[in-house]
Structure 1
């Protein structure tokens, strides 16, 4: 994968409600919500920007294959970038 991702903190406001993170883009007003694995990935971005390292942790925590993890994390990263909540560095 060899991608790095960083949150773009200035583009969103977020709050956690019943184990789900709800975010709103401050410029577009679009909502985005996360729970489960997507929320785990989002929280890991606070301390890890390398998607390969995030994937390694997820494989250990969830017992998933490297290929499945890579595909899922990459797809989620693409969604975050497209929504403006994260940028590749």
Structure 2
């Protein structure tokens, strides 16, 4: 999927290979071997990262977060979409249409 195409609710998200990830105080800290950058994902970002260990839709990520956190559904969808776009721009996730997996 092209990086300039918005991620849809049914697209499949999966972690990209080539990073080192560790837990620090309940949050994921990672280093991309590809670009040499460090990332701290925070609590919710860490949960999204865990969910993306195997192919998962944005819809399923949002559903999981709504069950685990008290958050407005529309706000959750917006924030998850923005976070996933950031991860994709940094090359940390792969996104594919559901029918291709």
Which category of TM-score, normalised to the shorter sequence, fits these structures? 0.7 to 0.9
Stretches of structure 2 that go unaligned for 5 or more consecutive residues are 1-8, 97-101
Distance 1:60 1:48 in 2: 19
Stretches of structure 1 that go unaligned for 5 or more consecutive residues are none
| RMSD across aligned positions (CA) | 1.4
2:22 is the alignment partner of 1:15: yes
Q: Which residue number corresponds to residue 35 of structure 2?
A: 28
Greater helix share, structure number: 1
Matched-pair contact (CA < 8 Å) for 1:6–1:87: yes
Q: Which residue number corresponds to residue 3 of structure 1?
A: 11
Q: Note the alpha carbon deviations across 1:7-63, whole angstroms, 9 max, x for none.
A: 112x21111222221111112211111121111111111245111011011112113
2:43 is the alignment partner of 1:43: no
- TM-score, normalised with respect to structure 2: 0.78
Q: Which residue number corresponds to residue 88 of structure 1?
A: 95
